[in-house]
Amino acid sequence: MGALDRLPPWSTTGVGSLPYSDGRTAVARAVGDYDLPFCPQLPRLEGDMVAEWLGADPRRCGWSPDRDRERPRAWERLLRELMLAPPAHDVVKLQVTGPLTLAVALERGAGRGPGDAALRREVAAWLAANVAGQVAALRERWLRHARDGRRTSA
């Protein structure tokens, strides 16, 4: 049985972005108000979907201590909430801005037109690794619940 087959018919979920400045409120809505919980994006805190992943406007993209994070701001709170109230179907939705969108934003931010295939491959690999980390974190928590006897399936 596939993951989507475990969802009840007509399951609801959000589009991803929620209009909150507080991660606690956003996660409570994303986990409590929908059949399929999701990691909320917080554009009021993180900006648009490009800035959320790059940590800044692409024209100013670069490392700084306040942007040194791999996950959305609501990520840790989402994990805590899911530990307290995991969905019975064991499915969680993640949002990812596509590699082409991010690569084009970086190219435009640098004053170049789109066309750098190497950059797109690098961004795609970076995104894949980042999302694999999110999936691994969710899986590890589900397995811990199963070991602790609080879950019936992994």
Residue 153 inside a domain? The answer is no
Determine, yes or no, domain membership for 154.
Answer: no
In a domain, 51, yes or no: yes
In a domain, 152, yes or no: no
Q: What is the per-residue pLDDT across 15-48, written as a single tens digit (0 to 9) for each?
A: 888 899 888 999 999 999 999 999 998 888 776 6
Which pLDDT score, from 0 to 100, does residue 143 have?
58
For 107-154, how does the pLDDT look when each residue is reduced to its tens digit (9 = 90+)?
A: 887 788 777 888 889 889 988 988 899 899 888 887 565 555 554 443
Number of domains in the chain: 1
Domain that holds residue 74: 3-147
- Domain for residue 7, yes or no? yes
Residue 117 lies in a domain: yes
**Cα angle: 53, vertex 54, 55; to 5 degrees:** 95
Q: At CB < 8 A and 24+ separation, what contacts does 84-88 make?
A: 85/31, 85/32, 86/141, 86/142, 86/145, 86/151, 87/35, 87/36, 87/37
Q: Is residue 70 part of a domain?
A: yes
| pTM of this structure | 0.75
